Amino acid sequence: MIVPMYDHAALYRKQKAEFDAAIANLLESGNFDWGNELPAFEQEFADWLGVRYATGTSSGSAALRAALRALDIGPGDEVITVANTDLAGSSAIRMVGATVCWVDIEPVSRCIDPGLVEAAITPATRAILPVDIYGHPADMPALKQIARRHGLSVLQDSCLALGAEIDGKMVGSFADITCFSFSPGKHLGSFGSGGACSTDSPELADRVRMYSSDGQDRSHHYRVPRPLDLQHETDGENARLQEIQATVLRVKLGRLSEFLDIRRHQARLYRELLSDLPITLPEEKPGFRHAWRNYTIETDDRLDLSSHLLDRGIASNALYSPPMHLQKVHASLGYRRGALPVTELSCARILSLPIGPHLSAGQVEEVAEAVKNHYH
């Protein structure tokens, strides 16, 4: 592939000396669990986001599960969310025993349509779970108003939107809890798997921390001498961010802002080069700042376009389609084609082009040129 979607090795080489030194240090220390890297990363990540608390988890999926648990959502509860996303959201809702309720999206941001949320609220509704799809933040101010009126929690899936902003404020503290993913292809990619929950609430931070640490009070492991007994205060799972991933992420955090700027520059370049074609380009709503994890266009001939690109060594993908309500796993829930028309149309037309700090501006121009000559 001449222009790949991801190139994890290229990003490793960009900071190779720093990674090698930090990892060697960790290996020499032998502190593979309950060391100082995770708490240090959590503080640095919270500071970067401008929130009070961040808790590292083993994945974005684990972050969503821990957040739902922390908000005490379980059997009998309904959570309103969108279908044009990763399986992780609906699976987390179902795995805590709650019921997923999908509503349609706005065409421009492709995030949950706040105008449809209120009609979906029932006496069982406990939370709204918006997804900042492709890096465009959901309309958090509107959603928070609705949540306040109905006494609901808001849990934001920002796994694709680290660094996105609304009215000049970074995503991470709009919702009661915000979830992030450090899967290798995300903005801040670990060398395996990772995630985090951010919140301004000390109680919710404690609960996320407890649930993702086997229901234990983490401070137990840092006491000297370490107590002999092991107390489990709540249900939980082994879902902490690993020390070695925290080590890697601390190095990567140093260049996150620079890499976000590169994505924004590449998105501007695509917009300049791809105007006047029979494709819909992604847009930012006024007041919203995109984090450009994906550059996702929409077109009626995405299959032809993607094979045209592939012939020229250019990768593309169609994440996420088909939407969750039409997936086999959810067949028993009774959603039919046509239930979410805006979602379904968008999911049938999306195609993501390569974007990210592993690419040069020249490579982005090459992709744009190939898209153009497909239509000319």
Q: How far is the CB of 294 from ligand PLP (least distance, A)?
A: 9
Q: How far is the CB of 343 from ligand PLP (least distance, A)?
A: 14
Residues 199 and 42: their CA atoms lie apart, in Å, by 12
Q: How far is the CB of 136 from ligand PLP (least distance, A)?
A: 12
What CA–CA distances, in Å, run from 64 to 8, 96, 268, 299, 337? 25, 10, 32, 31, 27
- Measured from the CB atom, the residue of 212 and 366 that comes closer to ligand PLP is 212
- Measured from the CB atom, the residue of 73 and 371 that comes closer to ligand PLP is 73
**CB half-sphere exposure, 130, CA atoms < 13 A:** 35
Q: If you search the block for the tokens 């829930």, which residue do you land on?
A: 333
Residues near ligand PLP, by CB under 6 A = 59-61, 85-86, 88-89, 131, 157, 159-160, 181, 183, 193, 195
Per the CB < 8 A criterion, the answer to whether 263 and 292 are in contact is: yes
Angle at 91 between CA 85 and CA 92, to 5 degrees: 105
Please give the full DSSP string across 240-290, using - where no structure is assigned. Answer: BPPHHHHHHHHHHHTTHHHHHHHHHHHHHHHHHHTTTSSSBPP-PPTTEE-
- Measured from the CB atom, the residue of 190 and 370 that comes closer to ligand PLP is 190
- Measured from the CB atom, the residue of 181 and 299 that comes closer to ligand PLP is 181
Q: How far is the CB of 64 from ligand PLP (least distance, A)?
A: 6
285 catalytic? Reply is no
Q: If you search the block for the tokens 């694709």, which residue do you land on?
A: 160
Collapsing DSSP to helix, strand or coil, 192 comes out as: coil
Per the CB < 8 A criterion, the answer to whether 41 and 250 are in contact is: yes
- Measured from the CB atom, the residue of 88 and 105 that comes closer to ligand PLP is 88
Report which residue's Cβ sits closest to ligand PLP.
Answer: 60
- Measured from the CB atom, the residue of 159 and 368 that comes closer to ligand PLP is 159
Q: Of 16, 186, 285, 372, which is the active-site residue?
A: 186
Judged on CB neighbours under 10 Å (0-12, 13-18, 19+), 235 is exposed
Read off the tokens for 216: 């234990």
Secondary structure E strands in 73-152 = 78-81, 99-102, 125-129
Q: How far is the CB of 373 from ligand PLP (least distance, A)?
A: 31
Q: How far is the CB of 42 from ligand PLP (least distance, A)?
A: 17
Rg (alpha carbons) of the chain, rounded to whole number? 21
Residues 89 and 95: their CA atoms lie apart, in Å, by 10
**Active-site residue list:** 186
